Every structure is written in C-alpha cells, then in structure tokens.
A and B are shown apart, each in its own frame.
Chain A
Amino acid sequence: MQATPQPIFKRGPSLAVRLAFFSLLSLVLLVSDARFRYLEGIRSVVSVVLYPLQQAASLPGTLLTRTGEFFVTQSALYRENEQLKREALLSAPQLQRLTALEAENAQLLRLIDARPAPERKTTIAEVLYESRDPFTRKVVIDRGTSHDVHEGQAVIDNVGVVGQITRVFPFVSEVSLITDKNQSVPVQNSRSGLRSVTFGLGHDGALELRFIPVNADIQTGDVLVTSGIDGTYPAGLPVATVANIERNAAFAFARITCTPSAGVSSFNRVLVLSAPPPAAPNPLKTEPVPERPRKGASKP
C-alpha cells in the first residue's frame, strides 16, 4: 500500500465537483424564480449593472438613426409636414365632436349615478430592444420605477394595445406583448358586442380567440377592442382584427385567429398608461366576520 502523496499544488475542488455545485445552485435559482418569484431584488441590482452596457449596445443604432434624421431631404420634410397638416385638419372636427360627446357622456353618467371612467396619466417610453429569448415575446423599454412605472400597467401605441408591463427595474422595464403565450386580453367585438378573450400564440402577428361557439356572431374583418372589464386595459382600444375563422361542426368551438392591430414588433415609441384606480370591492367575496364573544358562551 502506498500512501497518497501530499499534493504539490493547491487546486481546490475538482472541475466536476464545481460543475455539480453550480448546477445545483442554478436549479435552486430556477425553481425559486419560476415558482415563487423570490429573486426580483437581485434582478433589479443586476439590471442597474447592465444599464450602461445596454446604452452602449444601442448607441450605434441610435447614432445611425440620428445621422439619418439629420440628412433628411427638405422635400421629404415638406411632404411630411403637408401630410400632418392635412391629418390635423381632418381630425379637428372629430376632436371637437369628441369634446362635446365627452361632456355629454359625463353628464349622462352623472344622471344615472355611475362613476365616470377616470382619466389615466400617460408616459412616453422608447423601446430599447426586443428580448433575445425566443420562448417569450417581450420588449424592454427605457422607463422604470424611477419614472413611476409599475407592474401591470398597460402599454399602447398610436394604433392599439401593445402589451402589459410584467417586470420593472429602476431604469428599464419589461413589456410582455399581447402575442406572448402567457398574455390574454379581454376584448369585445365592436360590431356585435360579443365579449371574449384573446390569447397570444407565442409568435409574431397572430392571436387566438378561444372558446367561441361555432354559431357565434363573428365575421372575418371584425375589429376587436378592449372590453375594459379586467381593469388593466381601458375600454375601447383596438386590439386585433379577425383574420380567419374555421367553423367545424365536429368541435364545440370555432378556431379563430386574429391579427394584432398595433405594430406589436415594429414600434419605436410606446405609451405607458398609469395604473388603474383601485377596483370596487367584489361583493361576492365576503370578508371573514371577526368573531365576537357571544353572550351565552361564557364559561360555566
């Protein structure tokens, strides 16, 4: 028998042991993040470290756009200006009518003693980059908790609903697009008033309406707007257009695919709507009645 000699070089634990250690640590992190969301604090810290790197990474693109903007020809500017003037002129009567209608609507709501929909504050944000994760549909915008952005706020662009803020960091936040597999938006058919919910499919340019009976009143080309019953999205924002309906009598539900209205993957600037006001208490949920000492229950 030979005694094992003293190692000449100190090496620490072997590579395989270290791999096992880090794998185990990663698994613990994965489970605690996926199931319990314990690690949001650490994420915020890391995101602050990442912020300057992100700025550096988007610098070439920004510079390119800026330079492009600088060399825009005068004729292009002139044309755009003309178009904007025309659009402003066209929308002016509509705007005036809107003001009148809003006043009338508020008065009517007061008459029937309903609460008018509160106005929401908006924040303009710029899309920094699309998340490189191919499993989800997310973008990162340049507004965070330091700009009073909170989780759950709705994000829209000039055409319709873009998504919802699902994670906030000090300077940036993540927006889950409505095409994400875990995102659903309660909608209403603007033609027939039929209410339902759109579900993301996990890839660009398509949404799905589930659990719509085969004989429901829905047609290709119908515009779906938010119904507002979830309290996240204000009512009446365009979400999608019905693109294809497959009615098969063998199944209880029709297969309906829609195209999102907003340029869900091609926008540059978006609007973050401030958090909805606290919802009215749910009358169906009764609070536990605090136990009162009963009169006859005193100890003998």
Chain B
Amino acid sequence: MSRSSLGDNIQDGEVLLPVRTGYILLSLVIAVVLDLVPLPGWLSWVWPDFVAVTLVYWGVYQPRRLGLFPAWLLGLLMDVADATLFGQHGLAYAALMFAAVFVHRRIQMFSLPYQMAHVLALLVAQQCIQLLVRLVDSAEFPGFQYFIASVTAAVLWPALVTALNAPLRRRPGADEV
C-alpha cells in the first residue's frame, strides 16, 4: 500500500539527503521570526504567513517527519504572538498539516508552478478556518484583502521549496570516483 520511506526523499528523480530534526526545527524558528517582523500598514496585509507555508512544505515533502502535534503547538505559539484566541491558529495549522500530508503524493506529481495552485487552496482553506472561528466569536469580516497573504505565500512557494531543498541536495560529483 505505501511505498518505502525512501520514496519520500525523491524529487524529480533526485535523491535528497535525509533530513535532520535540527534542520526542521531551524526552518520553523526562522519562519516564526519572519512572522513576527513588525511591518507598516499595507505591508502587513501582503506579508505571508511563513509558519503556515513552511508547515505545508514539511507536510508535502517529509510527510512522516512532522506530525500534527508540532503543527498544533506552533499554532498555539502564533496565537500568543498575534494576540488571537487561544487555539485559533492551533486548529487551523493542525487541519493544514492534515491536508498537506493527505495530498502530498498528488502535489509531488506536479511541477512547481502547478504546485502553487494546490498550496494556495490549502492556505486559503486554513485562513477560512480562522475566519470562521472569529466570525463565531462575533468579529467582523475584515475584507477580501485578508486573503492576499495566502496569494503572496503561494507565489513564494517555488522559491521556498528551492531554498529549503538546497541544503538537502547531494553535492555534484560526490558519488563519482
């Protein structure tokens, strides 16, 4: 039914190095810091949710390394950072991680530009969960510019994948005699 775990490490016929836990942790810490950067008005609408995209990356490319629990914990961290309701990001990120792992085989079949569409759908769905939670808590719809962050995140997806894959590439010529 399932392929061997080696299969998760193959991208476009290229075998990547095994991922260390420290590397995953580092990428997530950098994502959290990027999310916390103080920004002036309009830029904060455009600024993507780096934690969410990074979670999607690990969910899609290493579906067995990062489960729902780390995603949920990161969500709670972002809840405190963004001064939102406790559990709002947790719920959204857990669902996002589930969706990413659920469709990881499908997404991996596409080239990077086509993957962007899938990532956009995942991120918008994640934002919709947060929106729903806030609407139930009697908040008002902030307008459709709310979803711009997901669009920028999807546009950045190829760059993000390339950047996060770079340290996992084998050095050319390493296997040659």
Interface residues of A (CB under 8 A from B): 15-16, 18-19, 22-23, 25-30, 32-34, 39, 42-43, 46-47, 49-50, 53-54, 56-58, 60-61, 128-136, 138, 140, 167, 174, 181, 202, 204, 265
Contact = CB atoms under 8 A, between A and B. Distances in A.
Interface in B1-59: 29, 32-39, 41, 44-45, 47
Contacts of B102: 15
18 contacts: A15-B102, A19-B95, A22-B72, A22-B91, A26-B90, A29-B76, A29-B86, A29-B90, A30-B85, A30-B91, A30-B137, A33-B87, A42-B86, A46-B76, A54-B36, A57-B35, A61-B37, A135-B134
Given A22-B94, A27-B91, A140-B83, 4 more contacts: A53-B29, A132-B81, A136-B83, A174-B83
B114 interface: no
A39 B86 contact: yes
Contacts of A60: 37
B110 interface: no
B76 A34 contact: no
A34 B146 contact: no
Interface in B52-95: 67-69, 72, 75-77, 80-88, 90-91, 94-95
A46 to B, nearest CB: 4
B80 A43 contact: yes
B94 A133 contact: no
A22 B69 contact: yes
Interface of B: 29, 32-39, 41, 44-45, 47, 67-69, 72, 75-77, 80-88, 90-91, 94-95, 98, 101-102, 133-134, 137, 139-140, 142, 146
Contacts, number: 126
- Which among A34, A134, A138 has the greatest number of chain B C-beta atoms within 10 A? A134
A135 B86 contact: no
A47 to B, nearest CB: 5
A61 B81 CA distance: 18
A204 B87 CA distance: 26
Nearest to A49: B77
Contact of B81 (A16, A29, A32, A50): A50
Given A53-B29, A130-B44, A132-B82, A30 B87 contact: yes
